[in-house]
Chain A
Amino acid sequence: MNKTMEKISKMVNPPNPLRPGGIAVYYNFVLILFILTCKDVNAQRTYSHIALINATAHIGNGKVIENSLVVINKNKLEIVSSITGIRLNPSSYDTIIDLSGKHIYPGLINTDNILGLHDAEAVRATKDFAEVGNINPHIRALIAYNTDNIIVPTVKTNGILYTQVTPREGLISGSSSIMALEGWNWEDAVFKADDGIHLNFPKAIKRKFTEEEGLSVATNKNYTTEINYLYKFFADAQAYCLMPTPAEKNIRFEAMRGVFNGTANLYLHTEKAKDILSAINFAIKYAIKKPVIVGGKESYKITSVLKKNNIPVMLNRVNDLPDNADDDVDIVFRTPYLLQKDSILFCLELEGDMEAMQSRNLPFNAGAAAAYGLTKEQALASITYNAAKILGVDKELGTLEEGKLASLVVSEGDILDMKTNNIILAYIAGKKVNLINKQTELYLKYKTKYGIK
């Protein structure tokens, strides 16, 4: 490494200011930060050809390259290979960054989440994820996605670069879109608009709470009504979509076209084995081209059926409790492994309590799966490559492969382990990501107040 290169790499790749042992004095940091941010504004022009060298590259498809060379050219990955035997010509690059001892990963993909649709959960005015009505395929999440949302910046800093912004509630909640976590506005941030319709498949058994009996589960009294309602809607929608020019335009049915012609996924949100079987029947009945089971807590019980019908699963929280007292205590941790073992395509999602805020823990959910049977690379795939495949964006995202978008993150250590996850550098489509957020700013503010190192 020559001297110029070293200098540049130090500037672009400062030790994390948020950790002790980083830059010692705050004003120093601010100064450099200032330079960085200033540079960053025109960085897109300045650094469009970047070589990341000597890191361990985790490709996302199971492969790992120690001592790698990853070259970003404009928005694409130009080279992903081992650096051994390669002599770089520094003049060909705007910058060469030495990442020895560090790890490069594809940007993590957060699926099935309301991230971007609310700020504080309890404050009604900030909520924008559940519309009135039971059948709302025409509802589109992306237009409510707020790029200035307060939570988004705290998610990026843990390595998540994309999110599938998803509406909630009702039988059909609407359509989701895939967003990059950088952008001036939603138009700017959208990566794939209206990628699929979300259907909350009726539950045969429901949890209920009564004063006399406490929390219990019982058969869902409205099950048949809900199921019939859905079947009727799909029959009508399918018939409508067969007509090239319908006599009367129906915006709900129009929104369903993609689901029938295979340009959009149908996300069947369902947890219990029996409900999943019903959902699969449903998908078969309407010849749905791209059904996806979302949630799938008991998907491990019916892997053979999923396999036979080639249906992928977006698996809900690895960090969750089992449903029943009798369940294996570690069943939820082990479910990813059980799906992997039976060759089911799956990714991880975090729908549920405080899901937007929890998005930043996506890598640690994958890490937990690795503690219970997955290899670390399989766990990584469950939040990168697999997610991209299920979302239908794997041509451009999900792995560090030449020709794909340069959306990647660099971590000081293993990204799946909270002990070592420390994102120091990230790019979305070749564009450097700002890793400062309100929380890091408050941290610095109070460290300064107290004079803590």
Chain B
Amino acid sequence: MKRISSLIVVLSFLNFNFFGQSTFPTNGAPFNTHSIYAFVNATIYVDFETVIKKGTLLIQDGKVLNAAEKLEIPKNAIVYDLNGKFIYPSFIDLYSDYGMQEVKTFISGVGHRPVGTPQTESNVKGAYGWNQAIKADNEAVKIFISNKDKAEELKKTGFGVVLSCQKDGIVRGSGVLVNLGNKNENESIILDKAAGFYSFSKGTSAQEYPSSLTGSIALLRQTYYDALWYSQNKNKTEYNISLEGFNKIKDLPSIFEANDKYNALRAAKIGSEFNIKYIIKAGGNEYQRINDIQNTHLKYIVPLNFPIAYDVEDPFDAEAVSLADLKHWELAPTNPAAFEKNDIQFCLTSADLKDKGQFLTNLRKAVKYGLSEKMALKALTVNPAKFINEQDKMGALKKDFAANFFISNRSIFDNDASIMQNWVAGEPTVFSDINTPDIRGNYVLNTPDKNFKVKFSGDVNVPQAKITIDTTRKNLNYSFSNNLLAFSFSYDSTKAIRGTGNYNLENKFFEGKAQAANGEWFDFKLVFESTVDTATKAKPAEKKAELGKVIYPFNAYGEPLPEEQGLFKDQWNKFKNRYSAILIKNATVWTNSGDSVLEDHDVYIVEGKIVRIAKNIDAPKMAFAKIIDAKGKHLTPGIIDEHSHIALTAGVNEGTQASSAEVRMGDVLNPEDINIYRQLSGGVTTAQLLHGSANPIGGQSAIIKLRWGHTAEDLKYEKSDGFIKFALGENVKQSNWGDFNSTRFPQTRMGVEQVYNDYFTRAKEYHLQWQTFSKLNPKDIEKNKIVTPRRDLELDAMAEILNKKRFITCHSYVQSEINMLMHVADSFGFKVNTFTHILEGYKVADKMKAHGVSASTFSDWWAYKNEVVEAIPYNAAILTRMGVNTSMNSDDAEMARRLNQEAAKAIKYGGLTEAEALKLVTLNPAKMLHIDDKVGSIKVGKVADVVLWSDNPLSVYAIADKTIIDGQIYFDREEDAKLKQYIKTERARIIAKLLLEKQKGGKVEKLKSKHERLYHCNTLEGIDEELTGQR
């Protein structure tokens, strides 16, 4: 052992000549040294799991020579005795903006636009790509400027190496791996392009597109395709700096800023489309869906920004803080532990913490909430190193690893621990003196007036000082550094003494000069008398925090899983699929087959399907069957809302261009929207989530079932046809958007027609191009240098319409434009599927019938803008009478929970029969959505999406008692009462905890609570729709 270590020493000397070369001239003689440092008697963490008690660490020239229990220390080594102290490999942060320029995020949207016309094109000059948010060519290495203060802040919390990137844009270019050493930039950079960075946020780009999350996702997707096409056709098409940049970073480790559990899942989905395993920057709420996070099989960078407590002293104000916020406050510190428990690879980051000093405190909190110390260290050292393939150079204190480590006075997980020194690349940054002598003891201070007793006790590094004046003990103000003591105190109300003196280590006394109360100087001496008890008291083991459960979904009316053990999936199935069969007895059954309403009938549901409708069906004998006594109640098919904007995240409109056919509402589902539950309570089982109406060609729709508690993907209606939103009229020509918005084409109904003409013409050619190309022989492509067609997601969607694989739902009001779109469709050989809103449909009902288009209208809305002054509530009745398949829709989260009543208005206005009226919100919309083979009526073989009502479902007095989807009960008045009680007790429990936190002096935050935004057709990002007041 001895021989080996001395050999290492010798070898390192042989290497001598390779060190210290620099391209930089020195002003004066260089300071280069090649000293060996030896740290002895320390508790050394060689890596997260290997600990040497009383070990030695040898370093030289920025590298570790060795770390072991016993090492021969070279004679010329500089030795630090670290008795009782700890050495850890420095932490690595993969998500930093250290050394980058400050990024001021541009707030997009009409309401925030600076005065002037909207910026539709990129304002970056040069051979860059079309969208300013794609900053793939950014190289952090080129803008990196080290910052001493920021570096110290990070080093003080244990970091030694960070991966830095300019956090700006959807594609952010490459990040640079740097150490936080004291040398210049050239010597701080470890790896110039360590990773590529991505996000959903467009950052400083003031370009209009994208203005929504769904737009950001579409842009990213398209960029992957463009970059591929660009590389396939190198030198055959344009030169594009942004795509060049993109192709350069594509194969680096890819770090995706998701900052949220659902965004993490969204990023993972994009990754899987392009075969990229992102490293996801998490947001801190992943524990709320940890099973789905685990199923991404990705690596995560997890922040430690736990919410601070809310001020809940005022009971009325506190009601604005939601159960979800309260629970998140309580459970956020369990987030890192949840990653560990579920075997998800992760590292930790100081990102998202404004005060980096909070990092260690929060790390300890995470440990207290279940994260193991070992994993905490791993997540800060070995894991981040491994994620960027640097595990052979950093993250541990092994031979030839970077000499990045810090010294702490005690275990870093100890609440009182502080970092004394942080060595980066062999250079120390000193925060407190590791050589401070132990001055603890009882002393006597001699002054000409009288003598005082002084006591230093407590922490060896920063002892507390007390002085006894007569019989009273007071704190003594003092400082002690570099062996020099300074103190001051006052006594007898008017007298004060101040002094400064040296410490005599051998004889344990201080002596120096002091100034007495009368202003005279005198020699003082502080003489050691006796030792004090220095044994640290064993702290009582902290009680494990009592915590509430995670609820699904993480919002009010979510439920905890019944038991904690077992596989999540099994548990989940048991939880959400409780019933294998449901028998509904003696109901009035509105079958929707003709006008048939069956009195006193039973409906038998097995495994989610309706299997029998008859009188007196025998009780099922299988396990997990439920029998519902429905005497006096009415059973109808579930309500289907053809036009909804609930359950969407960050924007309903990507209305920044005349067409946004490439965006998909299915990308931005929010399964936690409380409106899902509220609408279940109104009997809604299925909804079509549409893009807004800000542009002639909107985005692709998502059809969902209101499966409260499930994930976004599970909300989606299985294998439904594709739909797309179109829009006509005032919204698309921006009539009511203010005077600034008068430049985007189109501004008239005339222009709208030509937008369609243009896109469909191009889509036709695009489709043809691909058809021709797919028939070519690959050899010919090569030989003739044929340019591959570019995959265009927008034209893909348009071509799908032409090929009858995607269907149009068109927002429309005025007869002229309705007529126009039908003509456009006819001329391109397809049919419009549905006109939605269609308030003047009654004027062209005959033409609509001839075209075969459906109508989905409002019952009685009108007069909210000029194009709806001729709207009449008899619309639905006329259309129905004319044989047009007609429905009532909501476009409104409130109205959707009483769509049955809206349907009933067609009885009042126009005299539909009750059976006809019910179909307006059940079977007819099912037909429009092409799902009437499965839902929309109560029929043997159909899916059991049914609602049990307290009264005639078309009466204002009817209340949905149970809402059943797929044969499972998703809403039940009885269960609802229990959930209300759960909300009440959980709130009370957590609020009591918060009050205790405030009493203990913890930080509290003035109330602030997020609300889900209610979207309408015309909701534009950046504008509170209350301000616009139009649909």
Contacts and interface: CB of A to CB of B under 8 A. Distances in A.
B1006 interface: yes
Contact of A357 (B862, B882, B908, B954): B862
A43 B866 CA distance: 36
B730 A216 contact: no
Interface string A339-356: 000000000000001101
Contacts of B678: 321-322, 329
Contacts of A21: 911
B865 A122 contact: yes
Given A211-B109, A417-B956, A447-B878, A216 B1008 contact: yes
Contact of B882 (A273, A364, A452): A452
Interface string A385-425: 00000000000000000000000000000001111111000
B878 A446 contact: yes
Contact of B957 (A121, A329, A371): A371
Interface stretch (B265-273, B312-320, B481-489, B688-696): B312-320
Contacts of B862: 357
A274 B882 contact: no
B1007 A446 contact: no
B956 A209 contact: no
Contact of A216 (B881, B1009, B1014): B1009
Contact of A151 (B842, B863, B866, B1026): B863
B866 A357 contact: no
Contact of A419 (B555, B904, B1010): B904
Contacts of A439: 872-874
A187 to B, nearest CB: 25
Dominant SS among interface residues on chain B: loop
B316 A273 contact: yes
Given A216-B1010, A442-B870, A422 B1024 contact: no
Interface in B664-701: 674-675, 677-678, 681
B818 to A, nearest CB: 14
Given A217-B1007, A329-B976, A371-B958, A443 B872 contact: yes
B908 A450 contact: no
A120 interface: yes
Nearest to B953: A419
B107 A326 contact: no
B894 interface: yes
Contact of A422 (B557, B874, B908, B1029): B908
B863 A357 contact: yes
A153 to B, nearest CB: 12
- Which of B556, B1006, B1013 neighbours the largest number of chain A CB atoms within 10 Å of its CB? B556
A265 B634 CA distance: 46
Contact of B1011 (A217, A301, A353): A217
Contacts of B316: 272-274, 301
A150 interface: yes
B910 interface: yes
B911 A367 contact: no
Interface in B979-1031: 980, 983, 987, 1006-1014, 1021-1024, 1026, 1029-1030
A121 B864 contact: yes
B736 interface: yes
Interface string A182-204: 00000000000000000000001
Contacts of A20: 911
A58 interface: no
Interface in A352-378: 353-354, 356-357, 360-361, 364, 367-368, 370-372
B317 A274 contact: yes
Contacts of A204: 317
B866 A120 contact: yes
Interface residues on A, range: 35 or more
Given A417-B955, A450-B845, A214 B1011 contact: yes
Contacts of A326: 319, 322-323, 556, 983, 987
B908 A325 contact: no
B849 to A, nearest CB: 10
Interface in B890-924: 893-895, 898, 901, 904-905, 907-911, 914
A320 interface: yes
Given A418-B908, A419-B956, A214 B1013 contact: yes
A123 interface: yes
A248 interface: no
Given A120-B863, A319-B898, A418-B956, A213 B1010 contact: yes
Contacts of A132: none
A324 interface: yes
- Which of B952, B957, B1012, B1029 neighbours the largest number of chain A CB atoms within 10 Å of its CB? B957
A142 to B, nearest CB: 21
B860 interface: yes
A119 interface: yes
B1007 A274 contact: no
A364 to B, nearest CB: 6
29 contacts: A18-B909, A21-B911, A120-B869, A122-B864, A123-B866, A205-B320, A218-B1006, A219-B1007, A274-B316, A319-B894, A319-B898, A324-B319, A325-B323, A325-B1012, A326-B319, A328-B980, A329-B677, A354-B1029, A356-B863, A357-B862, A367-B956, A371-B957, A418-B901, A418-B904, A422-B908, A440-B874, A442-B842, A450-B846, A450-B881
Given A122-B1029, A123-B865, A450-B881, 6 more contacts: A122-B736, A217-B320, A368-B898, A371-B951, A371-B956, A418-B908
Interface of B: 105, 107-109, 112, 314, 316-317, 319-320, 322-324, 555-557, 650, 674-675, 677-678, 681, 730, 735-736, 842-843, 845-846, 860-866, 868-870, 872-874, 878, 881-882, 893-895, 898, 901, 904-905, 907-911, 914, 951-952, 954-959, 976, 980, 983, 987, 1006-1014, 1021-1024, 1026, 1029-1030
Interface of A: 18-21, 119-123, 150-151, 204-205, 207, 209-219, 272-274, 301, 319-322, 324-330, 353-354, 356-357, 360-361, 364, 367-368, 370-372, 416-422, 439-440, 442-443, 446-447, 450, 452
Task: Report, nearest first, the 7 A-B pairs whose CB atoms are least far apart.
Answer: A367-B956, A122-B865, A325-B674, A274-B316, A443-B874, A439-B872, A326-B556
